[in-house]
Structure 1
Amino acid sequence: LQLQCPHPPEVDNGIIRTQYKHRVYYICDRGYIMEGSHEIKCINGKWLEAPKCNPHPGPNFPCDHPPGIENGGTISLTQSEYAHNSRETYKCQDSYVMEGKAEVTCSGGKWSTVPRCLAPCPISEEDFRKNDLNLFWSFQKPIHMKHGERLIFSCPNGFYFEPPAERICNNGRMEFPKCLSEESKTCTGLQYSECPICTQSEICVQHHIKKVEILPSDASTLSLMAKSGSGSAIFTVQHSHKSNRKNLKFTIKESSNAVVNVGFNRESRGIQYNNPAIGDYCFTFPKDNSITFNVTFSRNFTIRFDRLKQSLI
């Protein structure tokens, strides 16, 4: 009766090349040499001692073919084996930029560090159009900027973008700035500090960001500052349809050489205040539930929207 053989033993840094029923043949990985017999047998259900794969003792061990690289390769046909101190040269595809040394060397069974090919940045007219950027030339097909190349962008008059204006192609990626209008419109919910049920109202402020700055303030106050000379802003208070309140009470708290035009949108009537007095004001909302303020001022203009007293409702 012949005993069944278990799975043959594994060998570190080596593999089983062929296996028969009661015998196997081992080979070592490149850079290793075998100690012991390549072949072992299974006798009476037990395998004989497997060989060992030890590192090659000499520095002159050959190398396999050089590793492949993405978007590039060696300039000559590869061989199955390269002698110690052999050299090979890499080249990238067109428009790709090589990072690292083009030439690699075989030493002790291993290649020196291979280079990599950095991708270009494709640029099209559509990239300029969708970001509202100035386009000074026309091209039918996308062009490719090489890694590390720079491009300076500009915006049409009346538009701006956050610096820097110069952007760099970085391995296939380039961040396009987006031109933004210098006329900024910001809408926030009004939060009357004394009237929690009024928070459904909304105020929208439109201003030139290079001429007027909205200063931080409490949730029911709008504070504007002219950056130089005079400034102007338009802001609209939209009344909530869910609320039964029809009046808007506000207080002008700060005003410097201001001219305030109050419009009631679709209604032709309007009110103009030249150097309006500091104090309280009250308006009735028109049918479309919105009141627009067009303000020109110097230095600062501050307005606060407050809870309406019961007698004014």
Structure 2
Amino acid sequence: MFYSFHFYCIYHLLNMKSSLTLLCLVVWVNVDASSAQTEIEGACINPTVMNGFIVQSNERNVHPRNSKIHYSCNVGFKPSTGGWWGEATCTEGTWSGISECIAQGVQCDPPPKVENAIVEIPYQNTYIDGFEVNYECRKSFEIEGLKKLTCENGSWTTPPPTCKQYCGKPEGAGETFLILDQVLERYENGNQIDYKCISPYTGPRGNTTCKNGEWHMPIECKASCPDPPRITNGDFTMENRDVEDVITEVSYQCSRQYTLSFTGSIRCQNGKWPRPPKCLRPCEISTFDAEYNLQNLAKKENIAHGEKKTLHCKEGYYHEYKQIGWNIKKIEVKCDDGAIQYGEHIPICSHRYS
């Protein structure tokens, strides 16, 4: 007689959360050399294990008398005798010690469905004891109740949560209208708020109700226009008014010698006026008389913004900038909001060299 051992590894579910742990069994087998023949008196044939499998096999499916086998159970089952595997002995052609593989705890039906909730779990007909499921609500829905359910003794531990739709704070709150009730970030379906418009917005006091995530009956606060903006050295002239006698459109004009930066009217929109035009300043030409050797002007002269003026050098003087063969006696300048513009060359006239 001699002895040998077999080394077997099986996968088995240990923590009930779909993670697999590798178990390895060392099985000692005693073999009687005198019985190693095709026909063995009192031998046993490989048994069938319901919901399980044999972890020691024999190529001929025949086990000699008094030999032992070990078996394990499928995921979710365990031997009725306890432990992670069972043992059976061949006695006079029959196996003693074979027990059935029973369900490991009472299993649960699929978890309940929750409207507007997202659950990421593999679908199965049954779920083992200890299995957990987590619910998450879709966007614009708020969860009520516990998010996590656990399978215990054939039932889920708590009732499933619900996903309730909500409304956010109404757009424009605090800017165009004032909420007269408690201000919240979220309002449940059916919640109602009272409001009143804030100046310069006008409208009757009212209320609105949260329905299916939206505010029912839109809040109507119309923008009322303030007085038109004033401008320096000018004022608005033509004006249009609405049915409530509020000015909604104006045109401008400037004082004498000043020039509008743009023409046309401006219109009030959503309670706000756009930027009005400017009155651009004229330019005084006589400031060049003494120091730049320009011909004296008959009188102090002003030119409006955007206008041009030709200046002349005094007799015997020429502009410092000379083109070949020419002595320049005229200089052109332009007025830009009160400042004389003359390009690249300062309008200075110099005495003619002999």
TM-score (norm 1): 0.37
Higher relative contact order (CA 8 A, sep 6+): 1
Larger Rg: 2
TM-score (norm 2): 0.33
